[in-house]
Structure 1
Amino acid sequence: MPAEIAVTGLGLVTPAGHTPEENWTALCQGRSLAARDAELAGLPVDFSCQVTGFDATGELGRPLARRTDRFIQFALVAARRAVADAGLGGDLGPGGGGGVGAGGREELGERVGVVLGVGSNSLSTYVPEFGHLGAGRPDRVSPLALPRSVPSMAAGEVAIDVGARGPNFTTASACASGTTALGVARDLLRSGTCDIVLAGGSESARSRMTATCFTRMRALSRRRDEPSLACRPFDARRDGFVLGEGAAVLVLERAADARARRARVLAVLRGFGAGADAHHPVAPHPQGDGAVRAITAALRDADCGPGDVGHVQAHGTGTPLNDAAEAAALTRVFGDAVPPVTAAKGVVGHALGAAGAIQAACTVLALRNGTVPPVANFEGQDGEHKLDIVAGVPRPAVGAGISCSFGFGGQNAVVLLTAD
């Protein structure tokens, strides 16, 4: 039998807070955190879900904060907290990273990998640098522009910071990137390539260019007069998603190894599945073909049946096409017995490449607390596929949880987790 994969540490930085406890409280309240965003002022869509109260210099020290972009900073903080939560490593406080033996801490070592999902380059950095080029001033382009913004540097900087010298790379499967990273990490552990993997995702999508591109594609909600009501997964009045940001890092290791070192096991990652729509560059297959394959593969990998699943952490973007396709896929897999459905994006927005990792972390929290949080702003459904949406108040959670992620290019990835 394939080795069981345990989740032994968790780090979260989202609009709901910088700790798992803060995130859990906000999720259970079921209220959207969307608000006006000064970064997007003057644009047709000028609101987002922002990470607030984040002091990169205070968390990381000035040199590290200066050389990294926001999505890397989120990844670093989430990784440090996940490592500490798992009982690994030494001094990872401000200024504690940045090289061999930095801060007098113990390195994690060469059997520890880092796999992080990132959906795109950091346009927040590139836009002003392109402005210098456009103004005929290449001498003003920062030498840090590339290393602080390319997607691979999230994993690279985390490895430098915690001394993880095993396999190190970024997965890019659009909005499924964070979930894909968890599946790849699982394979590294099952194959014996690594003993521990820091896996998850990080993204900061709050750039003017990103917002403009998604607005032009008619993907974002346009509820400028009521941002807090904008993101409404599966609701009949949904009109698009809300940009978000953040990071989630999970420490994964073989369950037998975790128990041997007497680590606390938060949950078990039992299954992963992926499948392509092979249908359209940006629209999901209307019947969720690729999503069905991914969910079915995750169930098969976990040796579970549909009846073993107690709740679904849906991709749930709040766009008309995605929610309809996801509802169709869930109905095809589970029939008339679709488990209770929740969707974290209603509260924290859509963090693109980090969304799947954030959702997986939320699924771990739901299993730990025996509770499924409600979907924000849900009032009623449309369409032929009626799901059991958790709305208003949390519900008890029983059985396994699946977390679904779908993205441009027909990318679909699903993880199945259970309580220890």
Structure 2
Amino acid sequence: MDFEFTQEEKEYQKEVRSFLQREVTAEAAHEHHSGEGLGPHSRALLRKMGQQRLLAPTWPKQYGGRELSPVTRFILSEEMAYHDAPYPLTFLEVAGPGILHFGTEEQKATYLTRITSGEIEFATAYTEPGAGSDVAALTLYAEARGDTYVLNGQKTFSSHAHHCDFIWLAVRTDKTVPKHRGISIFIVDPNTPGITVRPLHTMAGVRANEIFFDDVVVPANNLVGEKNRGWDYMVGALNYERGGTVGDLQRPFDELVEFVAERRRAGKITAEDDWIAEELARVATELHIARLLIYKVAEIQEQKGNLTYEASLGKLYASQVRERLFNVAMQILGPYGQLCDWSKWIPLHAKIQKLFLDAPRWSIVAGASEIQRNIMAIRGLGLPAK
């Protein structure tokens, strides 16, 4: 693995970093941390990035990309996360690649340039109440009727469904075959009659949603790729989604280190608090390892290799580092770490409490940690599946 970016990658990183330092407003950062998803300031920022052709660096130029290396996709997510910008994971790493690789020419013409321009947002809807992490157990059914499909069922934990422009939806289109073979992907307008979105909030205040489909009629040409091949498309997209970033961890870690250094200089941290330095050194090491694991995924993609367990390894490890980091932060801050943003006594900033409460969610999204371990055991270690 080459640990050094190419000159082209360095230039792209510099361009993105300079843009974000200049353009990320306090309002956009607040929307990002609110847990409510994209707001008007976030959308305005994404449109500005689209105008600079920053959003999809690996995509073909004809669709608004730059045809750069896969590493630049990870550079983009890392820089946006570090600078409190709203990284549009769903449409850049799930719906976008799905349409790019498997969509019809009409679908590509309709959606791709609108994605890279920051104009539209997708919500992913895979998970169902009775399926959990076993996505292939989904039951939302699409019945073919002439040149349309009629959808009935429910999805849950869809983070962007309340403000998206389109839903990237996994449905069952054949009940007679093994569960992995009867799934299809549709693009659905959330304003279609029969769709109801209901909020679900996590303990950190992050909004997810339930989506109900009651006799929802969708044109047949909204089917992406081949009918009943949706599982293959989903697995490929999940490898993109699980690529991840530690940019949103590095920023609070850097701020925490500076906070500790200031308190040490002021004599408020003494030799009795040596455990703090030890814990921070451990987290620093783990952050570095997590970043290398994530960029390893980029290298495999760049070499046109097949991802087996590597994306799961990076995702699992990063989620564990996340929990450790914010546990350490809360121990350092003590009772003050529990204060909300309206208190004048907050010693660092209000984000720490919310990030601490939000950390467990990351062991569930994009596949629970148990699922990642199963993937690593079967595909990485060659252990037999049950």
Greater relative contact order: 1 or 2 (C-alpha under 8 angstroms, separation 6 or more)?
A: 1
Q: Considering fraction of residues, name the structure with more strand.
A: 1
Q: Considering fraction of residues, name the structure with more helix.
A: 2
Bigger Rg over Cα: 2
> TM class, shorter-chain normalised?
under 0.3
- What TM-score, normalized to structure 1? 0.24
